Chains A and B, each alone.
Chain A
Amino acid sequence: MDNTVVISTPPHVKSKRTTRGIMLDVVIALIPCAVMGIVYFGWQAAVTELVALASCVATEFIYFFIANKGFSNKCADAGNVCKRWARQFDFTSIVSALILALVLPPRVHFYEVIIGSVFAIAIVKMLFGGTGKNLVAPSTAARVFMLLSFSVAMNVYVRPAVGAIFPDSDLIQSSATNLSGLLVSKSEIYSQPIVLMHPLDLFLGTGVAGSIGETCKAAVLVGYIYLVARKVIKWWQPVLYLGLFGIFAVFLSGFDYPSYTLDFSLFLPHILSGGVAFASVFMLTDYVTSPKGGLAQFVFLIVAAILTAVLRYFTNLEIVSFVVVLMNLLVPLFDKVFIRKPFGYKRAKKQKEANK
């Protein structure tokens, strides 16, 4: 035996899953959405995606380079820093870039994408300590930032190249910017909420004006199935959030009828419109910015679902990214409150009784 043996604390065997592998799985799960975005919204969508990818990775690299003093006089140092960057590269910036690109409207300008990407990586992620240390999801925070900064460009939605299967002509024409196919719930023209699009169209994203990646729910579903199969996310997380959100949205929509009615035909349009489906799979399940432990995640998703439904009802806006950022900020609180009780734990009161 030579001197190469390693000593460490147990366990001596470890699973083959790594951070890099998990993030690569998320990238793969995002590919269907990215491809459908290009199919629906053309080359501009492809440009947005590529610009976001390039600028996110470049920002991360430059930040790492500066932070590790790559700009010293010696070339060898710079080379070492590059090598170290390559070794620690874990695909998280690619995930952030893809999610950011997919939640943007298709006709956003490329320089706006660059600014958003730099904000996401440099300020939201790296300034807080890099992978695993960010308080809010970089991509979601960047979307909110862009929505507030470039509110005109960020609200231009176009229809995809593929038309609706069930065109209900005059309704579609009358709502040029219907925010990813949101319901117009408190309309003055109609006495009750009306569904602008057929649920199948909403599911496939055909004829729905929306964000690049959020429009095609079928692609989101493919990504969901992949992530669950690879055990990256828990199957019940998106189901719980979407289901609860849909039920609350239906409850609230009941107030828009002349007399209160529960109309469960609105359930599917509610959960299939806008970005909730995408957010439930890719944003709310983000490891870094969701609480730890099953119970905390359960409560977290319930609160998020109620908030989304309420805010959407009262603002009539695509509000889900604001909700995600807000919930992200509450995560440290969830982590403090929901400390699991160990196996075999008995509440103090019960224990006293047992001792008597």
Chain B
Amino acid sequence: MKAVKGKFYFGGVHPRDNKNLSKAAASEIMPETESVAISTQQSLGRPAICAVTEGQTVNEGELIARGDGPVSSDVFSSVCGTVTEIKEMTGANGATETFILIKSDGRNDKTYLQPLSDPSPEDIKERIKQCGIVGLGGAGFPSSVKAAPGTPVDTLILNGAECEPYLTCDYRLMLEKTDEIVRGARYTAKALGVKNIIIGIEANKPDCIAAFEPYDDIKVVILKKMYPMGGEKQLIYVTTGRKVGLGKLPADIGVVVQNVATVFAVCEAVELGKPLYERIITVSGKAVKVPKNLWVKLGTPISEIVNFCGGENFAPKKVVQGGPMTGVALASYDAYTHKTTSGILLLSEDEAAADEPTPCLNCGKCADVCPMRLMPMNTAFYSAAGDFEAAAKYGNTAACIECGACEYICPAKRPLIQAIRKTKAYIRNKK
């Protein structure tokens, strides 16, 4: 359908997006590495329970860990080989995770599910669950939960905003796999029983907008270029005009949001029976020699990915897994990709500002840009004094989506997100 403009949204920041570094690089398939280390913590919720033993031979796509509970997802092997070790290691975010180390043996045997032709809604829901699909935008919310909402829904929104700077993997995916995304969206819509499919794409990707316009059943909405336009609540408001209430889910107002990469995975799961063990990521930043968009298998070591991209230009100041606004800073290359890893960024000193914080000026810029209309400076002020109750009350921390816009804009470089997370952790532990 002809693209229409989205509704106006206040606030937000406009960081330099640096997408030109990797925008033109067509996606490549990264060759299989010698060994992979797959974490059992691949989604929100509890880690999956290991279903293999050391020394066991597995095929590509074989189940190696079973989801524990409804918001946990199954994990699949990404290579053919032998399980060499199952051990606890420190994950990217500092928490201890169980990793399953698999040594590749060079075979090419794939264990896929039976492809479905003309599936019923129940079949699709079942398939999404079987293939361990989670939201690939970053949060890692299992798609099977989203595909079976408790309340009636009427709209499926595809998130093609990709508002994070640097990342271009969704952009490449939308250009190269347009048809698969549309088919995946139709399957997802069928599972949900909705007719209305909307895709939101930021205005800085006109070729993607043009690519989706020919499909008659998909409404294309052009979003203003702003961070965080791809935030779930922001996207829903801009595309449909509905507001998600505090503490509510999008399904409560009849909307389900899926990332474009997620619906692509749904398409592969339905048509090929392929479980989710591979995804597209962006390797970018000024410190990496050749920025690329890569199809990477689950559990690939970051060091191998950096080597495949030609290595470092110079020593990076920060290594980020994910986007620069919400991603995790890595202490070393000794980490492995997850289902939710959307990028590996090697940021130079110039890009990754690490200035010393100066006193807060009360300028209120953090409140001006906050897409949730919160007052981050109050959280920072009261949490620094140790009064987390007041921090949560005056800063409305519970509604924070941790987009990082406040800390981005802060002229005093105050660590606002740190204060917000501390406050949230305090409130969570108190309950």
Contacts and interface: CB of A to CB of B under 8 A. Distances in A.
B7 interface: no
Contact of B318 (A6, A17, A132, A133): A6
A12 B325 contact: yes
Contacts of A340: 367, 373-375, 396
Interface string B91-114: 000000000000000000000000
Contacts of A13: 15-16, 165, 324-325, 347, 351-353, 408
Interface in A206-261: none
Interface stretch (B51-59, B139-147, B259-267, B357-365): B357-365
A19 B358 contact: yes
Interface stretch (B122-130, B177-185, B293-301, B328-336): B328-336
Given A1-B315, A19-B361, A287-B363, A11 B375 contact: no
A131 interface: yes
Interface residues of B, number: 68
Given A292-B375, A342-B373, A346-B245, A22 B411 contact: yes
Given A11-B325, A12-B352, A132-B412, A343 B421 contact: no
B83 interface: no
Given A132-B361, A344-B244, A10 B326 contact: yes
A5 B399 contact: no
A78 interface: no
A344 B252 CA distance: 12
A6 B354 contact: yes
A22 B165 CA distance: 25
Going nearest first, the 4 A-B pairs with the smallest beta carbon separation are A11-B404, A292-B364, A342-B399, A287-B363
B347 to A, nearest CB: 6
Contacts of B374: 340, 342
A14 B413 contact: yes
Given A11-B404, A15-B409, A343-B243, 7 more contacts: A6-B317, A6-B329, A13-B16, A13-B353, A19-B358, A132-B412, A343-B237
A165 interface: no
Nearest to B248: A344
Given A12-B318, A287-B361, A18 B329 contact: no
A274 to B, nearest CB: 27
Contacts of B121: none
**Residue in A11, A129, A343 whose Cβ sees the most chain B Cβ within 10 Å:** A11
9 contacts: A7-B329, A9-B329, A10-B324, A12-B325, A14-B355, A18-B411, A19-B359, A339-B375, A345-B246
Contacts of A293: 364, 367-368, 375
Contacts of A130: 359
Given A292-B364, A343-B371, A14 B353 contact: yes
Contact of A15 (B315, B316, B408): B408
A287 B364 contact: yes
Contacts of B315: 1-2, 4
Contacts of B318: 5-8, 12
B13 interface: yes
Interface string B163-185: 00100000000000000000000
A268 interface: no
Interface in A320-351: 335-336, 339-346, 351
B319 to A, nearest CB: 6
Given A287-B364, A339-B375, A21 B354 contact: no
Contact of B13 (A15, A21, A290): A15
A1 B415 CA distance: 26
Contacts of A290: 362
| Listed residue (B345, B361, B373, B421) with the most chain A CB atoms within 10 angstroms of its CB | B361
A90 interface: yes
B373 A341 contact: yes
A163 interface: no
A131 B345 CA distance: 35
Contacts of A131: 358-359, 361
Contacts of B149: none
